[in-house]
Amino acid sequence: MVTKKQIVKELKRNIQQSYAMELEDATPQEIFYSLGKTIKAIYNQDWQKTWKDYIIEEQKQVYYFSIEFLPGKMLKSNLLNLGLLEIVREALNDYNIDLEDVAAVEKDMALGNGGLGRLASCFMDSLASCGLPGNGNGIRYDYGLFKQQFVDGYQVELPDEWLQDGNVWEIRRESKAVNVHYGGKVYMEKQANGQLKPIYENEIVLKAVPYDTGMVGYQNGIVNTMRLWGVEIPVSQEGKYRTIEERRVFEDLTAVLYPDDSNETGRLIRLAQEYFFVSAGIQSIIRYYRKLNRPWHDLSEKVAIHINDTHPALCVPELMRILLDECDLNWELAWDLTVKVMSYTNHTILAEALEKWPIYLLERVVPRMYQIIQEIDRRYVLSMQNIHPNDLIERTRIIQGEYVHMANLAIIGSHSTNGVAKLHSDLLKSVVLHDFYIIYPERFNNKTNGIAQRRWLQIANEELSQVLDETIGKTWRKDPADLKLLINYQDDEAVLKRLFEAKKTKKIALAQYVEETTGIVINPEAIFDVQIKRLHAYKRQLLNLLHIIKLYLDLLENPKLDIEPRVFIFGAKAAPSYTYAKSIIKVINEVAQLINHDERIQDKLKIVFLANYNVTLAEIIIPAADVSEQISLASKEASGTSNMKLMLNGAITIATLDGANVEIRDAVGDDNIDIFGLTEAEVYAYYENKNYSSNQIYENDPVIKRILDTLIDGTIPNIGKEGREIFDSLILYNDEYFLLRDFNSYCEAQTKIDLAYKDRKRWEKISLINIANAGHFSADTTVKQYAEDIWQIEPLFARKRK
Ligand code: 26Q
């Protein structure tokens, strides 16, 4: 066990070594870096040992391929998982240094857009904490997701220079670099032994260098690896570039994360990025497997590869390429192994978000991939003839017209396809991927998302954690299902009071942050009503806003209206090219400006749009939330994960029956969640019957008309263009996401929230019931299900740290 004294000694030595100064004189930045080095040195032994144990035990390992990872800050979570959080806090305290100040200087590692990337990082934490042999494989972007600022209410994007002060957690492993080939011409040549081998001409070779970060398990001595690849120009290729510009394109391959979280169509660089981490990752897996000296047909007993959404779907043809071209396997064996090794998760049902690449691009960027995809496609059709009708085969082909359909490639090339919540997985089977479900029913399954309780409760909300520890003991930290024990206290006034006080403390902290960053003063006694997620039409931030406008108009008409004071809090980034989403941001900001400064409202309503929503900000907002807004149009949100984080922190959910909200309702019961709106079946019925008319609602409902008119009649200043654009989307273009249809139902649900909050005892009880049932949504449980049902991997027995 590491002592406080040892830590201080090492920390001082590192500060001395790096900066030639004393701890007392160091800045938080200098302390952070040196503390990081100190901690890394502590877990390095475990890291090495974990790796060796996996090899000695010949453990099957999973490689989680994801083009996004969103770990946020790592200092406190590493300390917690090493069991050193309190020791280090005290050690620094002895020198009058606040750990929080040191932790605050760490830059968020934001190599992801939102839910999908954060899920990948929660899984990394849980895999290590459950002692499961799981590695991450992704891209080391030089710039993470853009930083968001508001200027005159408009979103402005700034580069995220997260590597500016270096990255203390990573290890660059030059010796494990591999080459990745692009472009040129490929043709097949017969060898003396009759085998066909690809000959490459004029291709471009890039070097992929791995940067490894230790993923520390929760107090179990396990450290797994997240491997992110960065691009370099190999020395051998230096002379090949005609111009600096030409060279720059390749050098910049891993420079930036694409900031679109749905569809960024047809970008050459994006395709090159996808192939980059896929090829590098699979090469390094096969290099490792060869060292084990085992026969090829055992590959699927040692290796599982997970395709996180379709972005890494080239894993399928790339593994085929290596097995065929470099390991000389025949097609049948290579294919059999590939399908056994691969599994795929789908994260969306939005048709426009299903990835497809134009053939000409694949031919240009990754010609050998295209050849192999053609052959997979040809054999797929052949194998299905005489079994299934032609039209079904045609609809499920990988290559259709001018495009390669990546989801089709991932499904055909893997043994498992899963959705991320029950409802979503059912919709995949019955609608979106129905054709594939007919062909491969056994491949489809559900794995409901989960979250890392340790980060979202213990680290983000120490106050609540402490109340839980003192009420139900500490076992929930390892066993989230034990949160259930809290149910026994649902009528215990003392516990309820303590929970309420913990919430209050966090609300005061958030209020302080809000005042410091925006100048807006908010009342911690008010209901904190939170919607935090990417800005998307289907997530319906606009529905939330329309309700706020309604409250505002109601209050103007009747200043005595008896409503609980409410603060509406938003956090959301819009993809830079998503004009409509940006217009919604502008309008929310202008409505905020209007209402926050209208004295007639007497602080009954406040709107706060916090800029630059990211993991760190989430850790400040979520513990302070009273109400969780999960109001997407039913059927559109695959799962959602902020719904789980907010519930865990005692917020009460107002929700449509979409994604994991359905399972949250099942867990807490109808009385402890506020459900409204169309069901998924009703939404589909509208599509079927084509009988929705938003204009009819607008003309017949004077309240709705009055609210919508504020968008275009000058009531809200400075939104000429945007107000009109949004108005038109609702009326001229028939309200694609049925906001008007759900509006009255939403308002009723909001009234219920108001009434429930008035009955403070009841509110506190509902909040407790939500916390007690949040253990259902632990990522630990989720990864264990993946491990058992899909990857067939087993935990390494947890050993106590010495
Ligand atoms: C695709 C092509 C080109 C460029 C970008 C993309 C792209 C990038 C990111 C497409 C999609 C994403 C991210 C999707 C995402 O975050 N989906 C969310 O995944 C969560 C975890 O499963 C779910 O909880 C959310 O419901 C889902 O929206």
* Total count of domains within the chain: 3
Same-domain status, 353 and 494: no
Q: Measure 262 CA to ligand 1 centroid, in angstroms.
A: 6
pLDDT of 802 over the 50 cut: no
Same domain for 519 and 603? Answer: yes
In this structure, are 282 and 150 located in the same domain? Answer: yes
- Ligand 1 center to 309 CA (angstroms): 8
CA of 260 to the centre of ligand 1 (A): 9
Q: Is 533 a residue of the active site?
A: yes
User: Atom 15, ligand 1: which residue's CA is nearest?
Assistant: 116
Q: Is position 83 within any domain?
A: no
**Mutation probe of ligand 1 site: the residue of 309, 422, 632, 658 with most atoms within 8 A of C-beta:** 309
**Using a 6 Å cutoff on CB, does residue 310 contact ligand 1?**
no
Shared domain check, 187 and 311: yes
Left if phi > 0, otherwise alpha if psi is -120 to 50, otherwise beta: which for 635? Answer: left
The verdict on 690 and 609 lying in the same domain is yes
Average pLDDT over residues 518-538: 98
**Which residue in the list 424, 573, 645, 765 is annotated as catalytic?**
645
Distance 261 CA to ligand 1 centre (A): 5
Kindly name the residue from 533, 586, 604, 765 that is annotated as catalytic. Answer: 533
Same domain, residue pair 737 and 790: no
Q: Answer whether residue 78 is part of any domain.
A: no
The neighbouring-strand residues paired with 606 are: 567
At residue 799 the predicted structure's pLDDT band, cuts being 50, 70 and 90, is very low
Residue 273 beta carbon below 6 angstroms from any ligand 1 atom: no
CA distance 399 to 33: 50
**pLDDT 10s digits, 53-94:** 999 888 999 999 999 999 999 999 999 999 999 999 999 999
Ligand 1: which of 270, 275, 347, 423 to mutate, most ligand atoms within 8 Å of CB? 347
Q: Mean pLDDT over residues 464-477, rounded?
A: 97
**Is any ligand 1 atom within 6 A of the Cβ of residue 446?**
no
471: Cβ below 6 Å to ligand 1? no
Cβ of residue 658 lying under 6 Å from some atom of ligand 1: no
Query: What is the model's pLDDT at position 264?
Result: 67
Q: Residue 192: what pLDDT?
A: 87
Closest atom, ligand 1, to C-alpha of 114: 16
Q: Calculate how far, in angstroms, residue 310's C-alpha sits from the geometric centre of ligand 1.
A: 10
Burial class of residue 414, CB neighbours in 10 A (0-12, 13-18, 19+): buried
pLDDT of residue 159: 98
The DSSP output letter for 7 is H
Based on the residue annotation, tell me whether 534 is a catalytic residue of this protein: yes
Residues 593 and 630 placed together within one structural domain of the fold: yes
**Banded pLDDT at 241 (limits 50, 70, 90):** confident
More confident residue, 250 or 355: 355
Q: Decide if 154 contacts 586 (C-beta within 8 A).
A: yes
pLDDT, tens digit, 9 for 90 and up, residues 547-573: 999 999 999 999 999 999 999 999 999
Q: Which of 111, 257, 261 for a ligand 1 pocket mutation test, highest count of atoms within 8 Å of Cβ?
A: 261
End-to-end distance of the chain based on CA atoms, in angstroms? 6
539 is catalytic: yes
pLDDT band (50, 70, 90) for residue 155: very high
CA 572 – ligand 1 centroid, Å:
15
Q: State both tokens at 551.
A: 């409250």
Question: What confidence tier does 249 reach under pLDDT thresholds 50, 70, 90?
Answer: confident
Ligand 1 neighbour 355 (Cβ under 6 A): yes
How many A from CA of 116 to the centre of ligand 1?
A: 5
| Average pLDDT along the chain | 96
Percent above pLDDT 70 for the chain: 99
Res. 196: pLDDT tops 90: no
Q: How far is the CA of 401 from the centre of ligand 1 (A)?
A: 25
181 is catalytic: no
Give the Å distance between the CA of 191 and the centre of ligand 1: 44
Question: Which atom of ligand 1 is least distant from the CA of 424?
Answer: 26
pLDDT in tens, 12-21: 999 999 999 9
Does any domain span residue 143?
yes
Catalytic residue among 107, 306, 503, 539: 539
User: Is the Cβ atom of 67 under 6 angstroms away from ligand 1?
Assistant: no
Summarised one tens digit per residue, pLDDT across range 156-184 is 999 999 999 999 999 999 999 999 999 99
**Is 582 one of the catalytic residues?**
no
Q: Tell me which residue of 693, 685, 701 sits closest to 736, measured CA to CA.
A: 693
Q: Are residues 682 and 792 in the same domain?
A: no
Least confident stretch, 256-260, 492-496, 613-617: 256-260
Q: Which of 396, 641, 656, 715 is catalytic?
A: 641
Q: Indicate if the pLDDT at residue 800 is higher than 60.
A: no
What is residue 261's predicted lDDT score, i.e. its pLDDT? Answer: 80
Range with lowest mean pLDDT among 552-561, 775-784, 790-799: 790-799
Higher pLDDT, 513 or 796: 513
Domain annotation covers residue 259: yes
Residue 79 placed within a domain: no
- Which pTM was predicted? 0.97
447 is catalytic: no
The reply to whether ligand 1 has any atom less than 6 angstroms from the CB of 171 is no
Q: In terms of domains, do 198 and 231 share one?
A: yes
Q: Is the pLDDT of residue 266 over 80?
A: no
CB-based contact 540:739 (threshold 8 Å): yes
Letter string b/e over residues 681-712, b meaning 16 or more CB atoms within 10 A of that residue's CB: eebbeeeeeeebebeebbeeeeebeebbebbb
CATH number of the structural domain spanning residue 429: 3.40.50.2000
pLDDT at 256: 96
Q: What is the pLDDT of residues 703-750, one digit of tens each?
A: 999 999 999 999 999 999 999 999 999 999 999 999 999 999 999 999
Task: Assess whether 204 and 94 both reside in one domain.
Answer: no
Range of the domain at 343: 57-72+108-449+784-801
DSSP string, 655-696: E-S-TTHHHHHHHH-GGGSEE-S--HHHHHHHHHHT---HHH
Residue 165 dihedral angles phi and psi, to the nearest 5°: -100, 20
Q: Which atom of ligand 1 lies closest to the CA of 112?
A: 9
Residue 186 and residue 98 share a domain? no
Domain membership of residue 762 (yes or no) is yes
pLDDT of residue 798: 39
Residue 211 sits at φ, ψ, to 5 deg, of -120, 115
Query: Domain check: are 98 and 130 in the same one?
Result: no
Query: Residue 185 has what pLDDT?
Result: 92
Domain contains 84: no
- pLDDT value at position 797? 67
